[in-house]
Structure 1
């Protein structure tokens, strides 16, 4: 019979104390370090909450308007503002030298020749496909004729014989090749 007592949530578990002393020592070390950090006389702020400008030199020259509020927060680097734009993004694109009229005409000629060659090749492919299709159809027609020639046939001259036949038998009848 299974036990109704649940041992899973006990600290020791079924195997006795495991790493309990080590864990306790680690926790004490972490608490000690936290207490030492709090005992420091100076007020320590988190890196993201430090003042952006040092307080000792208030008469420093300022160039332009800063786009930040004096408190660094957010990024690890401490920068939460964007640099001022000096040029438009569209002006940053490098425009190559313009081609001359002769170069343009040469490019057009090459393009036209390329298109013509492509059209020729496509027409060749289409013509070869049509030719293959015709050859295949002719081959199948000849094959069918040869099969019919090889069969034993019987001519039905009396129309009453055809009337006596069942519908299925009539469907099997074919006109004899000349």
Structure 2
């Protein structure tokens, strides 16, 4: 099943694909989907996120089929980064027991099939915000929505998970 809604805040459609009760894909696109919105619970949670900057996405099952053990470990780890907090690629690498694998963590972020729900926008580079599949402007807007100070979003953070 595919569902979507239009985010006025981002100026993009948020398209979610769910199969067998698991989120398989999230896409942010300027193109209006051909299907009609269904108003699924994940779309309701995404709308709430855009209204408040807080999320409850961890309660949803995600499909990481086709991911390597390392990719799965990284993606599951970043799901635990709360809204309003950031971590560096290096901090995530250390958190998953692979210090020195910051570049590999960045590669996992770049291929994240479920952005927003798996909040790769909360992982920033030591010399700036880093990349984002939806573009840097979208990453900055998401961090701003969550209340991350601009200087924190553009610098390496020095705090981990609670």
TM bucket normalised to smaller: under 0.3
Structure whose residues are more often strand by fraction: 2
Structure that is richer in helix per residue: 1
* Structure ranking higher on relative contact order (CA contacts 8 Å, 6+ apart): 2
Structure of higher CA gyration radius: 1
TM-score (norm 1): 0.13
